[in-house]
Amino acid sequence: MSDSFAREITRRGFITKVGQGVMAANFAGPLLKGAAAVQVPDPPGKKLGWAIVGLGSLAINQILPAFAKCEKSKVVALVSGHLDKANKLALRYGVDPKNIYNYQNYDTIKDNPEVDIIYIALPNGMHAEYSVRGHQAGKHVLSEKPMANTPAECKQMVDTARKANRKLMVAYRCRYEPYNQEAIRMAQRQELGPMKVILADHGFNIGDPTQWRLNKTLAGGGSLMDIGIYSLQAARYLTGEEPTEINAMMYTTPGDVRFKEVEETINFQLRFPSGILANCTSSYGYSGQNRYRVVTTKGWFELEPATQYSGLRMYVHHDNITEERLLPVRDHFALEMDHLSACVMENKDPLTPGEEGLRDLTIMTGIYEAARSGKTVKL
Amino acid sequence: MSDSFAREITRRGFITKVGQGVMAANFAGPLLKGAAAVQVPDPPGKKLGWAIVGLGSLAINQILPAFAKCEKSKVVALVSGHLDKANKLALRYGVDPKNIYNYQNYDTIKDNPEVDIIYIALPNGMHAEYSVRGHQAGKHVLSEKPMANTPAECKQMVDTARKANRKLMVAYRCRYEPYNQEAIRMAQRQELGPMKVILADHGFNIGDPTQWRLNKTLAGGGSLMDIGIYSLQAARYLTGEEPTEINAMMYTTPGDVRFKEVEETINFQLRFPSGILANCTSSYGYSGQNRYRVVTTKGWFELEPATQYSGLRMYVHHDNITEERLLPVRDHFALEMDHLSACVMENKDPLTPGEEGLRDLTIMTGIYEAARSGKTVKL
């Protein structure tokens, strides 16, 4: 239910009460007001059934709890290599034990009519295989970002989805939540004049050296694949353009046990056709950065944090005043899952289809090439 | 006078009064306290005589008023092509009319024993000539930044100073004021762990298309020479290192009447020997940016504004807390002028000698080359 819809109901409820009982309100005003404020939501409409593939921290801490906020999506199946974990989570979220799959019998999900959509929350290097197998099982697929390790894998995923006539969406949750949507709206409407420079910084100090994010085969790369992609996405969705040139500079601390296979820091510059330039950073070695600032001819606007799961803040500067802009706080995962459910129900294309993930992988491949070659990469 | 010295005097003054008149204080306490708070400063020690060359907005709005805050420097001469302007300013600041020079008789300043130091506040392209002529006149020289248009000019200035056995300093005022000094101290002491990435953004939306800053001959270049140099300086003084590699990307809006001769925006990346990377921007086309952030392994610290004439603010983030750090507010110009006066009196080398300006010009030449060639420039 949208916020504006919720407000509309509240207003109508209040007006009805006032019309029916002005005299009563004089005596019981406070009580009546309290009653009017508590709205019993309508029963949900049809919800599509989701299977979650990969029960890591993202699934446990973000995706599964988010179903409580969904209007069009419910969790009905779990796919995991760890039966104990799957059983515990099935009990917590009311998933029928018969709908627990492992990676061997995953393909039999095609025979389960309760499952409409599969959410791939596996390590990056496994997205392609499990997306393709999901589509071949006749299901729609939401893949976590980055979509895959390589553009070739992305193409395979897009092709398979097309042949199966099923949806493929990449989980770019920021595109579905109010703060980033407001930034995109301001950028596109040129509310502070034309954009000139975009500054985007994303990274954190990564911990456990044994985690899959530091394994080249499973992660596809280092900070860029996991967190720098937010800087890239921001530059692209704010401009609404595709970059034509890339510069990059990379650094990995020698001897740091975390970075035997993947890069630590990779900073990159992008040129967009309209002349907008972006200066971005991405790191697994610095203390948490999560921000972007769009500098225009007349001011700037900034999100910091910009792309975290929650707690986003927006600042707008113009005419020598900096304002904080407060927006509705929504669950990003619920919004993106309901978006794909709605697309499936209404047979519409998702806002962030497989082709969008492929674009990022192509550009990220260019970023690595620019860093390695010391030359501007032209796309 | 340092702040700690001022505090010491106040404390001593208060103790003396209490010791001499405890009884009186019982009756006249409020009055006495008021009297104790007003300290009559000691008469200044010896002040060196300064000549200001170039009476533009910097001289009028910043340099000349700053002498009121100086302990070791006084304005005694003015050099200008506009006699009316010089006469008016001489009246305001008590400069003897016989000490007003123009660009033709500037060299006769050698015969004026009142002038010890010359402050070159001319357009960039004139710094070299007026610095060289100043040294040849036997005076010490403070040159505004950028030191000159080219490394060759900088070398000529350094050589002439050496031959004349006179001081040459570049007016990098941020090195002399408390906020940037605190940032340097934190960086060098690694208070938040080793530095990883430096983010620095400096620029503004430049106005009048006819001003000298947009004239290649007078300015040497565009935003980089005037304002991007602050991003470069910050990266250098925070790391205490010299960059070894440069990437850059440049953009100038086609048809913008302001940018017929010089660049609008130039963003650059620097690699330092310790592995620190800097991502910097410089623009004459975006709304005022004036900030840097140093990201370390354990947190970050930031100045925003970082290098404006006044109003600097510092934020420090560690352990999930962001604090504002408040520091003494000082006049940057008074501090830098008194520094050079002290160096002359004590025959010491200034903190930012000509060699420091030469380093920036060499790097800026590399930044332009990287942007033009689309290749990493190695220094």
Q: Return d(Cα A222, Cα A215) in angstroms, integer.
A: 8
Among A224, A376, A377, A378, the residue to mutate for chain B (most B Cβ within 10 A) = A376
> Between B14 and B205, whose confidence is greater?
B205
- Cβ contacts (< 8 Å) between A287 and chain B: which residues? 192-193, 196, 295-300, 317-318
Q: Are strands A289-296 and A299-303 parallel, antiparallel or unpaired?
A: antiparallel
Specify the pLDDT at position B45. 86
Residue B190 has pLDDT above 70, yes or no: yes
Specify the pLDDT at position B41. 77
Contact B287 A277 (CB under 8 A): no
Catalytic member of A106, A119, A230, A237? A230
Which residues contact residue B67 at a Cβ distance below 8 angstroms, ignoring those fewer than 6 apart? Answer: B50, B73, B74, B75, B93, B334, B337
Q: What is the ipTM of this complex?
A: 0.89
Among B186, B192, B197, the residue to mutate for chain A (most A Cβ within 10 A) = B197
Specify the pLDDT at position A36. 58
Q: Return d(Cα B379, Cα B368) in angstroms, integer.
A: 13
Specify the pLDDT at position B16. 35
Compute the nearest-CA separation of A39 from chain B (Å): 37
Of the listed ranges A1-10, A89-98, A128-137, A230-239, the one predicted with least confidence: A1-10
Q: How confident is the model at residue A10 (pLDDT cuts 50, 70, 90)?
A: very low
Residue B4 has pLDDT above 60, yes or no: no
Extended beta strands in chain B, E state: 48-53, 73-79, 100-101, 117-120, 140-143, 168-170, 195-203, 245-251, 265-271, 277-283, 289-296, 299-303, 314-318, 321-325, 377-378
pLDDT digits (tens, 9 = 90+) for A29-64: 455 555 556 888 777 789 999 999 999 999 999 999
Per-residue b or e along B144-165, where b marks 16 or more CB atoms closer than 10 Å to that residue's CB? bbbbbbbbebbbbbbebbeebe
Q: Return d(Cα B122, Cα B269) in angstroms, integer.
A: 30
Residue B21 has pLDDT above 80, yes or no: no
Residue B17 has pLDDT above 90, yes or no: no
Specify the pLDDT at position B19. 36
User: Considering only CA atoms, which of B282, B272, B223 is closest in space to residue B244?
Assistant: B272
Q: Return d(Cα B174, Cα B82) in angstroms, integer.
A: 30
Residue A24 has pLDDT above 50, yes or no: no
Specify the pLDDT at position B35. 55
Specify the pLDDT at position B43. 74
Catalytic member of A130, A145, A237, A284? A145
Contact A297 B205 (CB under 8 A): yes
Task: Give, for B369, the enclosing helix (H) or strand (E).
Answer: helix B354-373
Closest residue, chain B, to A248 (C-alpha): B247
Of the listed ranges A42-56, A232-246, B24-38, B303-317, the one predicted with least confidence: B24-38
pTM: 0.90
Provide mean pLDDT across the span B360-364.
Answer: 98
Q: How confident is the model at residue A26 (pLDDT cuts 50, 70, 90)?
A: very low
Q: Return d(Cα A95, Cα B40) in angstroms, integer.
A: 81
Specify the pLDDT at position B358. 98
- Cβ contacts (< 8 Å) between A271 and chain B: which residues? 249, 251
pLDDT digits (tens, 9 = 90+) for A291-322: 999 999 999 999 999 999 999 999 999 999 99
* Partner residue opposite A196 with nearest CB, options B247, B283, B299: B283
Contact A295 B280 (CB under 8 A): no
Specify the pLDDT at position A259. 98
Closest residue, chain A, to B319 (C-alpha): A287
Q: How confident is the model at residue A76 (pLDDT cuts 50, 70, 90)?
A: very high
Count residue pairs from A and B with Cβ separation < 8 A: 124
User: Considering only CA atoms, which of A147, A202, A136, A206 is closest in space to residue A172?
Assistant: A147
Specify the pLDDT at position B7. 40
> Between B20 and B218, whose confidence is greater?
B218
Catalytic status, residue A196: no
Residue B26 has pLDDT above 50, yes or no: no
Q: How confident is the model at residue B33 (pLDDT cuts 50, 70, 90)?
A: low
Residue A138 has pLDDT above 50, yes or no: yes
- Cβ contacts (< 8 Å) between B375 and chain A: which residues? 374-376
pLDDT digits (tens, 9 = 90+) for B127-177: 999 999 999 999 999 999 999 999 999 999 999 999 999 999 999 999 999
Largest alpha-carbon pair distance within chain A? Answer: 80
Provide mean pLDDT across the span A128-155.
Answer: 98
Contact B287 A267 (CB under 8 A): no
Of the listed ranges A368-372, B42-46, B64-68, B134-138, the one predicted with least confidence: B42-46
Q: Are strands B299-303 and B289-296 parallel, antiparallel or unpaired?
A: antiparallel
Structure tokens, A237: 């969705």
Closest residue, chain B, to A298 (C-alpha): B287
Specify the pLDDT at position B91. 98
Residues of B with active-site annotation: 145, 230
Of the listed ranges A29-33, A118-122, B24-28, B270-274, the one predicted with least confidence: B24-28
Instruction: Please compute, for residue B98, the number of CA atoms within 13 A of its CA located in the half-sphere on the CB side.
Output: 5
Extended beta strands in chain A, E state: 48-53, 73-79, 100-101, 117-120, 140-143, 168-170, 195-203, 245-251, 265-271, 277-283, 289-296, 299-303, 314-318, 321-325, 377-378
Among A295, A296, A301, A367, the residue to mutate for chain B (most B Cβ within 10 A) = A295
pLDDT digits (tens, 9 = 90+) for B82-105: 999 999 999 999 999 999 999 999
Segments in B309-353 forming alpha helices (H):
332-346
Name all contacts of A301-307 with Cβ < 8 Å and 24+ positions apart.
Answer: A301/A183, A301/A186, A301/A192, A301/A325, A303/A179, A303/A180, A303/A183, A306/A174, A306/A179, A306/A180, A306/A200, A306/A202, A306/A230, A306/A234, A307/A174, A307/A180, A307/A202, A307/A230, A307/A234
Q: Which residue shows structure tokens 């985007």? A: A200
Specify the pLDDT at position B31. 54
State what percent of residues in chain B have pLDDT above 90. Answer: 88
Provide mean pLDDT across the span B202-227.
Answer: 98
- Cβ contacts (< 8 Å) between A298 and chain B: which residues? 205, 287
Specify the pLDDT at position A38. 81
Specify the pLDDT at position A11. 36
